[in-house]
Amino acid sequence: MFEVSDIVAAYGQIEALKGVSLKVESGKITCLLGPNGAGKTTLMMTIAGILQPRRGSIRLEGAELTGLTPARIVSRGVALVPENRLVFPEMSVRENLLAGAYQRRDRAGVDSDIERMYARFPRLKERREQMAGTLSGGEQQMLAVARALMSRPRLLLMDEPSLGLAPLIVAEIFDIIAELNRDGTTIFLVEQNAHMALKVAHQFFLMEQGRITFSGTPGQLAEDEVIQRAYLGSRRAAG
Amino acid sequence: MDLLDLIDAVQSVADGVLFGATYSLLGIGFTLIFGVMHKINLSYAAASIGAAYASLLVMSVVQAPAVLAFVAAAAAGGVIGGLVYLVGFRFIPLANPLATLMSTVGLLLLIDEIIVHATAGVPLNYPALFSDVIVQVGPFGLRGDLMFVFALGCVCMVVLLLLLYRTRLGLATRAVSQQPTASLLCGISTTRVNVLTFVITGIVGGIAGAMTGAAIGMLSPLLSLPLTVKGLIVTVIGGLGSIPGAIIAGLIVGGLENAFQFFRGVSERDLYIMLLLFAFLVFRPGGIFARSAGRD
């Protein structure tokens, strides 16, 4: 169980997260939906330790993650596939994967994991010596996922994995997400593509203006309403 | 120009190219620090000369062969590099682009002042290696001390490239320079990479400082400013962030410097190097290996 409770995070005076609490069950796919500027990416960066929260706590299986460095958080088993992929453009595909395994010291294990990634993402195998900056958007997304998996995370965070990708590639990425989950990885996903996200998610949260405004299972709320609130927010009705 | 003049000119350029290995090393130092931190460390050349001075201090205390001067300069360079990071970068607000520029100018002046005070500004002799060797190639004579400097420079470059492209630390360094946020997400400590980059470039700078001393035969506090300027010029000509660029640019600047000196005299020499800098900034701001700038 992964638990975020009452997280407040701010950029200067502006509070981006105003007390966010949510739970992600082990072995499930949990999705966080919400309009632009709701604070979804801020939450991901805070969980990964890139941003420090003002207040609140983040726990994985009961162990406190708040205040740890990003490196320590990776070693505790949390890996983030960042928004816009952020591959290392002038390193080969293989080197990107090695960077993902930076904290691991078991050479043999790392090598066999690289082979596993090549088996799961055959396109990365074809391009293993190619510079990551020359890959297509979909390939870079696969590389970013594979790179995060190289640290053998218990919890995989994904921030907008479908951003800027063609519909066919998006479907492929979501197949991969479902597959990773079947193999036992807990996944916590931020998505704009509510339709695709609701198809794979076991559970979802809606976030609006720095707060969680709904949580439930995909069947619980009509998809129309979810999509409406995920894209536009519900404040329209309130005022 | 008759044949003898031509021979002299070629000889002069060849000497310059050999000495240019020093500029290459300094250019690599500037470029590597810029690569990981996106900051210019203006105190780098002064610290390199400072490290060479420190090696003279070691040599005055222990009786040792001249080779030890290079080892001592490398060690001192590493220590000074770490101190420069601590004083000039660690607690300085990095988001402000001027802050570290100012702190490193301050360090440049501080190191210069320390040298002037410690030596009363008097130049000190520096031990050369193989200065009695001259290899005759046809009408040209290659000075042993310069060839040693060049060879040592090449060894440093090869070691640095191996370090960058064949080791775990090198992978981390490249990762931080290409995508700092993703490096953090991969569990790479950027602070550790920054410190080690300063120490390693400091070691390289110390060796470059010792090479300068050995090639010229002496050390003077007047060396640090010209070396700072040359190092920066090499970095620009090579392209900020490009190591192969810095290597080639260092050799080119070394060779051209002596060519200008031969044809126009020592007092005009640096004038033309500066003009070369402007030519590059206008026509090839990305350096020799970048595509030429579009003129629109």
Q: What pLDDT, on a 0 to 100 scale, did the predictor assign at position B5? A: 86
Distance from CA of B65 to the nearest CA of A (A): 41
Calculate mean pLDDT across residues B170-174. Answer: 96
- Indicate yes or no: CB of B175 within 8 angstroms of CB of A87: no
Q: What pLDDT, on a 0 to 100 scale, did the predictor assign at position A159? A: 96
**Any domain includes A131:** no
CATH of the domain at B10: 1.10.3470
Q: What pLDDT, on a 0 to 100 scale, did the predictor assign at position A150? A: 97
Distance from CA of B241 to the nearest CA of A (A): 12
Domain that holds residue B224: 3-283
Per-residue pLDDT at A191 exceeds 60: yes
* pLDDT band (50, 70, 90) for residue B291: low
* pLDDT band (50, 70, 90) for residue B295: very low
- Indicate yes or no: CB of A99 within 8 angstroms of CB of B178: no
Q: Which pair of tokens denotes residue B198?
A: 């300063």
Calculate mean pLDDT across residues B190-205. Answer: 97
Q: What pLDDT, on a 0 to 100 scale, did the predictor assign at position A237? A: 46
Percent residues over pLDDT 70 in chain B? 98
**Any domain includes A121:** no
Q: How many domains does chain B have?
A: 1
Amino acid, res. B148: F
Strands laid side by side in the A211-216 sheet: A78-81, A155-159, A186-191, A29-33, A203-208, A211-216
Q: What pLDDT, on a 0 to 100 scale, did the predictor assign at position A36? A: 85
Q: Count other Cβ atoms within 10 Å, centred on residue A167.
A: 10
Per-residue pLDDT at A232 exceeds 80: no
B181: nearest CB among A50, A75, A151 = A50
Give the span between the Cα atoms of B7 and A138, in whole angstroms: 60
**Any domain includes B192:** yes
- Indicate yes or no: CB of B175 within 8 angstroms of CB of A88: yes
Calculate mean pLDDT across residues B198-205. Answer: 98
Q: What pLDDT, on a 0 to 100 scale, did the predictor assign at position B97? A: 84
Per-residue pLDDT at B296 exceeds 60: no
**Any domain includes B289:** no
Look at A227 and B114; give whichever has higher pLDDT.
Answer: B114
- Indicate yes or no: CB of B188 within 8 angstroms of CB of A91: no
**Any domain includes B279:** yes
Least confident of A76-85, A159-168, A170-179, A219-228: A219-228
Q: What pLDDT, on a 0 to 100 scale, did the predictor assign at position B135? A: 87
Calculate mean pLDDT across residues B81-87. Answer: 97
Calculate mean pLDDT across residues B117-146. Answer: 88
A99: nearest CB among B171, B181, B189 = B171
**Hey, is A65 helix, strand or coil?**
coil
**Any domain includes B195:** yes
Give the span between the Cα atoms of A45 and A42, in whole angstroms: 5
Instruction: Dump pLDDT digits (tens) for B215-257.
Output: 999 999 999 999 999 999 999 999 988 999 999 999 999 999 9
ipTM: 0.93
* pLDDT band (50, 70, 90) for residue B4: confident
- Tell me the average pLDDT of chain B: 92
Closest residue on chain B to A146 (Cα) = B186
* HEC secondary structure over B6-63: HHHHHHHHHHHHHHHHHHHHHHHHHHHHHHHHCCCCCCHHHHHHHHHHHHHHHHHHCC
Instruction: Dump pLDDT digits (tens) for A16-65.
Output: 999 999 999 999 999 999 888 899 999 999 999 999 999 999 999 999 99
Chain A residues within an 8 Å CB radius of B193: none
Q: What pLDDT, on a 0 to 100 scale, did the predictor assign at position B197? A: 97
Give the span between the Cα atoms of B137 and B154, in whole angstroms: 21
- Indicate yes or no: CB of A74 within 8 angstroms of CB of B186: yes
Per-residue pLDDT at A72 exceeds 90: yes
Tell me chain A's radius of gyration from C-alpha atoms: 18
Q: What pLDDT, on a 0 to 100 scale, did the predictor assign at position B292? A: 57
Chain B residues within an 8 Å CB radius of A147: 186
Q: What pLDDT, on a 0 to 100 scale, did the predictor assign at position A238? A: 43
Chain A residues within an 8 Å CB radius of B189: 69, 71
Chain A residues within an 8 Å CB radius of B178: 88-91
Per-residue pLDDT at A236 exceeds 70: no
Please answer whether residues A146 and A152 qualify as being in contact, where contact means their C-beta atoms are separated by less than 8 angstroms.
no
Instruction: Dump pLDDT digits (tens) for A85-135.
Output: 999 999 999 999 999 999 999 999 999 999 999 999 999 999 999 999 999
- Indicate yes or no: CB of A82 within 8 angstroms of CB of B184: no
**Any domain includes A171:** yes
**Any domain includes A95:** no
Q: How many domains does chain A have?
A: 1
Domain that holds residue A71: 2-85+154-238
CATH of the domain at A234: 3.40.50.300
**Any domain includes B293:** no
Per-residue pLDDT at B280 exceeds 70: yes
* pLDDT band (50, 70, 90) for residue A239: very low
Per-residue pLDDT at A161 exceeds 70: yes
Please answer whether residues B293 and B284 qualify as being in contact, where contact means their C-beta atoms are separated by less than 8 angstroms.
yes
Q: What pLDDT, on a 0 to 100 scale, did the predictor assign at position B293? A: 53
- Indicate yes or no: CB of B182 within 8 angstroms of CB of A79: no
Chain A residues within an 8 Å CB radius of B174: 88, 90-91, 95
